[in-house]
Every structure is written in C-alpha cells, then in structure tokens.
Amino acid sequence: MSVLRTTIVAVVLIYVLLWVLAFNGATSLVGPLVVPLVLGVIVALGVALQRYIGLTPRKQHFNKPEDDPKP
C-alpha cells in the first residue's frame, strides 16, 4: 500500500472509532463528528447540481514563468 492509501485508511478507522465512542456514551463527540459529514453532503450536492444543470468543471490554469510578458 502507498503512504497515501495507508493514511486514508488510518484516518477512516480513527473516525469510525470516534463514532463508536460517541454511540457508547461520549455524546460530546457527536457535534464535531457531524461537521465533516455535513460538509461532504454539501459538496456532493453542489457537484451534483452543477452536473445536472450542465456546468462543466473549470480546468486548472497555472501560469508558467515563460508565459509572463517580459518588460
């Protein structure tokens, strides 16, 4: 496994562990744990809406040093 994939798996496992703790009585964890879920849903709905109305994602544009006009 790559480092990125290992990190993602570890973060997801820690997140699930925190939800297990929240369901077993640590109710103060519920608020902070809901925030990433809500943000994910908002982003997913925004992307779905853009695709539904036919907007294509913008291409990333990076200026190369040779693209800058010379004085």
Q: How far apart are CA 5 and CA 27, in angstroms?
A: 30
Q: Which of 13-17, 32-36, 52-56, 58-62 has the lowest mean pLDDT?
A: 58-62
Give the chain's end-to-end CA distance (angstroms, integer): 49
Mean pLDDT over the full length of the chain: 87
Amino acid at 32: P
Whole-structure pTM value: 0.62
% of the chain surpassing 90 pLDDT:
61
Instruction: Give me the residue spans of the domains in the chain.
Output: 27-53
Query: Could you read off the pLDDT of 14-46 as tens digits, one per residue?
Result: 999 999 999 998 888 889 999 999 999 999 999
In the prediction, which pLDDT does 71 show?
A: 60
